Amino acid sequence: MFDIFRKHTKIMMILLFLLIIPSFVLFGIDRYNQAGQSDEVVAKVGSVEITKGQWELAHKNEVDRLRAARPELDAKLLDSPQARFAVLERLVRERVMLVAAEKANLQTSDARLARFLQEDPTIASLRQADGKLDIERYRQLAASQGLTPAGFENSVRQSISQQQVEAGIGRSGFVAAAPADVALSAFFEKREVQVANFLAKDYAARVNPSDADLESFYQANQALFKSPEHAKVEYVVLDMDAVKKGIKLAEADVRAYYVQNVARLSGVEERRASHILISAPKDAPAADRQKAQAQAQALLKAVRAAPDSFADVAKKNSQDTGSASKGGDLDFFARGAMVKPFEDAAFAMRKGEISDLVESDLGYHIIKLTDVKSPKPRSFEELRPGLENDLKTQQAQRKFAEFAELFTNTVYEQSDSLKPVAEKLGLEVKTVDHLLRQPAAGATGVLASEKFLSALFASDSVENKRNTEAVETAVNQMAAGRVVAYSPASTLAFAEVKPMVRARVVESRAVELARQDGAEKLAIWKKAPDKASLPGAVVVSRDQTQNLPSQLLTATLAADTTTLPAWVGVDLGANGYAVARINKVLPRDLAGQANAAQDREQYARWWNAAETRAYYAALKDRLKVEVLVPVPAASVTQ
């Protein structure tokens, strides 16, 4: 059968060409980038589906963005279930707003997209010294997000349209001063209180449980005194750093990379210029602009006739008050610091040259380029560490998939040991003892991955001591492990935990004594306030808590003060009990009008944010949003 392919190679190539190329035309390269992604649906926004592959790609992009913004950040910390779910919530929100934008016909024009991209600092950083966009780096930026340039621009276009939906609600809110002041006065109201604390620790000395009491508590609460299952584990990790360690660079490649990038890495060119400005705002009448242009033309003729007089002419005639007194001098500036087309003209001139008239939104400029500060090229040896790191990173990114496949196959095929995969890929076999099924407090890296721990404590791994499968624990990170020794969960003997049992009994009874004493005192003091033994009064509010526990502060500010003094008793949980007497209600101080205005602005922002959240909730309900994966513990839903 395979002889047919060998004998008719050219025909088969033509057939493959005819089959593959049209699919690129019909579906685009972005679809091929997504072809390997999982199509499992994790959320729905009406008829729009969000797949697990899209979720994973969004999470990778978010991790890459944060690492670029904060290189010191450990990206492994962003792989928690809560962090991943937050990305899914953001994806759902984006889809909701995109559908809403489409239904409202909120479209982003080509001109607005171009303006947005011109103003974006990330895109600005891709411009070369001549101001032109570095197309290759632009493609790399799009590719880092799994997109083509066209796909990237479409993504930005959608983002701008989505922002219009939220802006229509968030920026249109209006709060009148009177209702804002009523709400703020209630929120910032102050109360004079006296607080008596009945702390559990002060009652501990009164508790003296017998051995029988301890034994009884132990028998009733054995779940509190269990030794959790744990294991001694060996594991190996494949990540970008591990791949980079095995890469050897050719000296010629490093030097070639230096030649290609020395200008970019050495810094940016700066120019110094002076100018004469004759103001003519863009919205000024045509006659005024013509008059300004004629005046500028006359001055241009004068300075060209006598170039050395430029500073004196600028002092006498320039209408830029910031630079006129300095002879028009603007000091050194780099690209991006000046308005266009002023900047373009300045960077197209030669030193000592005087420009033609340059028209901007401010008026008419005459520019004289006085100096050029070119960055000093940094030496090869100075840049070598960074160049090598960049090249190794680039090669590691290309090789990681190959290493990952070898890693996956080896830990599976030679499942009785991790040494073969460690030797093949130059990895370190690490050991950890007393590892628990759940991530320990402060755990980092793969030992903080619930997915990896779950694989380690799976029955096959525990019972047969085989390697786990290769587990993806973070972006560009895989791990495999094997259980060396395993101890199941067991109840500790009473003799082992007797001190712990006693501490729990004492704590429990001390809390109960504090709560009982506090409640009794509250009942007595309510009937006979003059018998109350209370410390000095303090004034509390939401912004002046006086270190009161949150539940006590909330109860104090929420108490009914129709009749004063008012009393509240608050259970402080394991800390005990507290009694507060409210003596006075102090209204909000409106004397500082500046602060009052700021408070109203803040209240308006709160109101607008609340309206935006309510609108988003209504959109979710209207579009029948479904999230098909469980919400992890401690996740905060938007």
Per DSSP, the residues of 442-490 read T--GGGG-HHHHHHHTSHHHHHH-PPPPPEEEETTEEEEEEEEEEE--E
Q: Is 43 helix (H, G, I), strand (E, B) or coil?
A: strand
Please list the residues that pair with 44 across neighbouring strands.
Answer: 49, 626
Instruction: Please indicate whether residue 150 or residue 223 has the higher confidence score (pLDDT).
Output: 223
Split at pLDDT 50, 70, 90, the class of 600 is confident
Split at pLDDT 50, 70, 90, the class of 68 is low
Query: Is the pLDDT score of 14 beyond 50?
Result: no
Cβ(566)–Cβ(581) under 8 Å? yes
CA angle 429, 432, 436 (to 5 degrees): 135
Q: Which two tokens stand for residue 474?
A: 């973070």
Query: Is the pLDDT score of 582 beyond 90?
Result: yes
Average pLDDT over residues 288-292: 91
Give me the pLDDT at residue 371, please: 92
The torsion angle over the Cα atoms of residues 25, 26, 27 and 32, rounded to 10 degrees, is: -50
Give me the pLDDT at residue 102, please: 79
Query: Is the pLDDT score of 244 beyond 80?
Result: yes
Average pLDDT over residues 198-223: 93
Give me the pLDDT at residue 75, please: 56
Query: Is the pLDDT score of 26 beyond 60?
Result: no
Average pLDDT over residues 257-282: 84
Give me the pLDDT at residue 21, please: 37
Average pLDDT, the chain: 83
Query: Is the pLDDT score of 548 beyond 80?
Result: yes
Query: Is the pLDDT score of 171 beyond 90?
Result: no
Task: Give the integer Cα–Cα distance in Å for 191 and 59.
Answer: 47
20-29, 169-178, 286-295: least confidently modelled range: 20-29
pLDDT tens digits for 511-538? 999 999 999 999 999 999 888 889 999 9
What's the length of the chain? 638
Split at pLDDT 50, 70, 90, the class of 380 is confident
Give me the pLDDT at residue 455, please: 93
Q: Which residues of 353-366 are buried (b: 16+ CB within 10 A; e: fewer)?
A: ebbebbbbebbbbb
Query: Is the pLDDT score of 204 beyond 70?
Result: yes
Average pLDDT over residues 313-330: 91
62-66, 141-145, 206-210, 403-407: least confidently modelled range: 141-145
**Bond prior to 377 in cis (omega within 30° of 0):** no
Split at pLDDT 50, 70, 90, the class of 37 is very low
Please list the residues that pair with 480 across neighbouring strands.
Answer: 236
Q: Which two tokens stand for residue 237?
A: 């990790």
Query: Is the pLDDT score of 540 beyond 90?
Result: yes
Query: Is the pLDDT score of 410 beyond 80?
Result: yes
Query: Is the pLDDT score of 109 beyond 70?
Result: yes
CA angle 498, 501, 504 (to 5 degrees): 155
Q: Which own/partner pairs from 454-463 qualify as long-range (CB within 8 Å, at least 24 positions apart)?
A: 455/481, 456/231, 456/233, 456/235, 456/481, 456/483, 457/229, 457/231, 457/483, 462/231, 462/486
Query: Is the pLDDT score of 32 beyond 50?
Result: no
Query: Is the pLDDT score of 76 beyond 70?
Result: no
17-31, 432-446, 578-592: least confidently modelled range: 17-31
Give me the pLDDT at residue 23, please: 39
Write the DSSP assignment of 584-614 as a string of letters: EEE------HHHHHHHHHHHHHHHHHHHHHH
Q: What is the phi-psi region of residue 465: left when phi exceeds 0, alpha when psi lies from -120 to 50, beta otherwise? A: left
Q: CB 292: neighbour CB atoms within 10 A?
A: 20
Query: Any residues with CB less than 8 A from the CB of 163 and at least 6 apart, and which?
Result: none
Average pLDDT over residues 342-370: 91
Instruction: Please indicate whether residue 183 or residue 332 has the higher confidence score (pLDDT).
Output: 332
pLDDT tens digits for 433-464? 999 988 887 788 889 888 899 999 998 899 99
Task: Give the integer Cα–Cα distance in Å for 397 and 243.
Answer: 9
Most confident of 180-184, 198-202, 240-244, 633-637: 198-202
Average pLDDT over residues 178-200: 86
Give me the pLDDT at residue 71, please: 62
pLDDT tens digits for 497-514? 999 999 999 999 999 999
Which residue in this structure is represented by tokens 């400029």? 365
CA angle 589, 592, 597 (to 5 degrees): 100
Give me the pLDDT at residue 132, please: 72
Check: pTM over 0.75? Answer yes or no: no
Split at pLDDT 50, 70, 90, the class of 365 is very high
The percent helix, strand, coil of the chain (3-state, each to 5) is 55, 20, 25
Instruction: Please indicate whether residue 493 or residue 334 has the higher confidence score (pLDDT).
Output: 493
66-75, 106-115, 238-247, 332-341: least confidently modelled range: 66-75
Give me the pLDDT at residue 168, please: 66
Amino acid at 381: E
Instruction: Please indicate whether residue 168 or residue 582 has the higher confidence score (pLDDT).
Output: 582
Query: Is the pLDDT score of 479 beyond 90?
Result: yes
Average pLDDT over residues 49-55: 88
Give me the pLDDT at residue 514, please: 96
